[in-house]
A and B are shown apart, each in its own frame.
Chain A
Amino acid sequence: NAGVTQTPKFQVLKTGQSMTLQCAQDMNHNSMYWYRQDPGMGLRLIYYSASEGTTDKGEVPNGYNVSRLNKREFSLRLESAAPSQTSVYFCASSDINPTEAFFGQGTRLTVV
C-alpha cells in the first residue's frame, strides 16, 4: 500500500520552463490537495479537488493549473516557472467527510 506518491522528488527548472508535478493515491479517496511550503510561511493551499471532476482554487493559485485526471491522480502544472515558485510541494488526499489527510513525500523544486 503506497499511499500518496509524488513524482519527481527533486527538480531544477530555468525561469520560463514548464513542468507538471504528478500525484497519485491508492486509497480511493475523493479529495486531493496541492500545497507549497516555504520557510516561515507554513503550508499554503494552492488548489484542491473535492471529488473527481471538480477543482477549486486555494490560497495561492496564481501561476499554477491543476488537472484531476481520474480519482487516483491529481497533477499540478507550472506553465512558465518563476523563481518565486521555488518551494517544496506536497500533495495530499482524504475522504470528503472529516478524516485524516495523507501526504506524499514532497517535491523540492528550484527555479533558477
Chain B
Amino acid sequence: SQKIEQNSEALNIQEGKTATLTCNYTNYSPAYLQWYRQDPGRGPVFLLLIRENEKEKRKERLKVTFDTTLKQSLFHITASQPADSATYLCAPGRGGGADGLTFGKGTHLIIQP
C-alpha cells in the first residue's frame, strides 16, 4: 500500500538558515506533490504544488524539488524566520479525484531566534 514518510522528529533551525524538509513515498507513482503548512489548532494551508514533469518550483522564500526516480520531494525555506515555525505536510497525488488526498504525518519545524 502507499506509504508517505516525513521526518517524525522536530527539526530545529537557527533563524536565517535554510530549512530542508524531506518527503519520501513508496508503492506509489504520483503525478504531483503538494506541500501544506499547519499551525496549532488550525487546518492545513496550501503552499506549493509541483508536477512530475517539474524538477523544481519556487515561491518567494520557498523551493520544492521533486525527484520521481528517488521517490522524494525536498521542501526548502531560505532565510528562515521564527514565523516559519509550524508543521509542514506533504501530499502526493494522482489527480482526477480517484484516490482522495492523503498526507504524510508532517515535520514540526522550529526556527530559533
Residues of A within 8 A of B (CB): 4, 30-31, 33, 35, 40-43, 45, 48, 50-51, 56, 58-59, 90, 92, 94, 96-106
Residues of B within 8 A of A (CB): 8, 31-32, 34, 36, 41-46, 49, 51, 89, 91, 93, 95-98, 100-106
When A100-B46, A103-B43 are in contact, do A58 and B93 touch as well, CB less than 8 Å? Answer: no
Can you spell out 28 A-B residue pairs with CB atoms less than 8 angstroms apart? A4-B43, A31-B101, A35-B103, A40-B105, A42-B103, A42-B106, A43-B44, A43-B103, A45-B100, A45-B102, A48-B100, A50-B96, A56-B100, A58-B100, A58-B102, A59-B102, A90-B43, A90-B44, A92-B44, A96-B97, A98-B49, A100-B46, A101-B34, A101-B36, A101-B44, A101-B91, A101-B101, A103-B44
A106, B101: Cβ atoms closer than 8 Å: no
A42, B89: Cβ atoms closer than 8 Å: yes
A48 nearest CB neighbor, chain B only: B100
When A97-B95, A98-B32, A99-B49 are in contact, do A92 and B43 touch as well, CB less than 8 Å? Answer: yes
Q: Which residues from chain A contact B91 at a C-beta distance below 8 Å?
A: 101
B33 nearest CB neighbor, chain A only: A98
Distance in Å: Cβ of B35 to nearest Cβ of chain A: 10
Shortest 10 CB-CB distances between A and B: which pairs? A103-B43, A50-B97, A42-B105, A100-B46, A96-B97, A98-B95, A48-B100, A43-B103, A98-B32, A31-B97
Distance in Å: Cβ of B49 to nearest Cβ of chain A: 6
When A41-B105, A42-B89 are in contact, do A98 and B46 touch as well, CB less than 8 Å? Answer: no
